Amino acid sequence: MANIISMKQLLEAGVHFGHQTRRWNPKMQQFIFMDRNGIHIIDLQQTVTRLNEAYKFVQQVAADGGTLLFVGTKKQAQEAVAEEAKRCGMFYVNHRWLGGMLTNFKTIQSRISYLRDLEARRDRGDFERLPKKEVQRLQDDIVRLERILGGIKDMRRLPSAIFIIDTRKERTAVMEARRLEIPIIALADTNCDPDEMDYPIPANDDAIRAVRLLCAKIADAAVEGRRELEAQQKDSDGTGIEAIEFEPAAPAAEPVASEAPTEPAAPVAEAAPAVEAAPAAEAPASETPEAAEPELVSKEAL
């Protein structure tokens, strides 16, 4: 698999800048290239390798019909997370992670149902018959719930995988995903613990350009996987259509059976000397259509 990102792109986005050396996590030693002026520099060659692995995994998840949840509630990530998740048709949380979003998913679904009910009542004009103070309270509920749950409003089941921007800030999300054994893809800055991630991508998780670039690549993987899934579905649908079109074509064999009676060429045999072979020839001729019928039935059965 060719690299899906170049070193130049990573350098221009500032993906290689880590945290101050005094704030590092020793477990990130393997991903650190050097330190410069008290700042750790991330080994971008490993970033490329790990990103390729994460890309392939996300692509396979999407191709299998799975879903991906983007999580990034820090200011640097909020916009990129929402835009890229929407672009690839996946889900996102970019303002606040509610405790139990994964481990207590039934309760979250009940809040989503409440949000949908409020929106339906508002669209029907039910709010017009309520006191102004009550309407304002319900409108505030809609705004608050939409802000927190809007990105997962259509998520009917737990995600197949989760993509996290900052595992230190999204500590609760990491713990819930690990408890439910949901694969974690995450940006691993020099102050993070890579052991908490299934697919760590060593990268700067504080620079807006770096976050946007890597979010876009993960979204590209999901888009490519969805295309593969659609292509497979089209192929399977096409096979079904061809089979349906082939069956009506079988009756075309009926004329062949009806042409069998043209075997009255037996009269030529009758013109032969009086051996009375003609009657014998007529008997098989009468049996021929009956013998052809089972063959016709078997073709239709096919």
- How far apart, in whole angstroms, are the C-alpha atoms of residue 227 and residue 233? 10
Give the angle 282-287-293 at the CA atoms, nearest 5°.
145
248 CB contacts (<8 Å, ≥6 apart)?
none
Burial class of residue 38 (count of CB atoms within 10 Å of its CB; 0-12, 13-18, 19+): exposed
Q: What is the pLDDT of residues 240-288, one digit of tens each?
A: 434 334 344 444 444 444 344 444 444 444 444 443 444 444 444 444 4
Write down the residue that tokens 């039934």 correspond to.
106
- How far apart, in whole angstroms, are the C-alpha atoms of residue 110 and residue 93? 17
Distances (CA, A) of 12 to 8, 17, 208: 6, 11, 12
User: What pLDDT score does 234 carry?
Assistant: 85
- How far apart, in whole angstroms, are the C-alpha atoms of residue 237 and residue 80? 36
Q: What is the pLDDT of residues 202-226, one digit of tens each?
A: 999 999 999 999 999 999 999 999 9
Q: Can you give the pTM of this predicted structure? A: 0.76
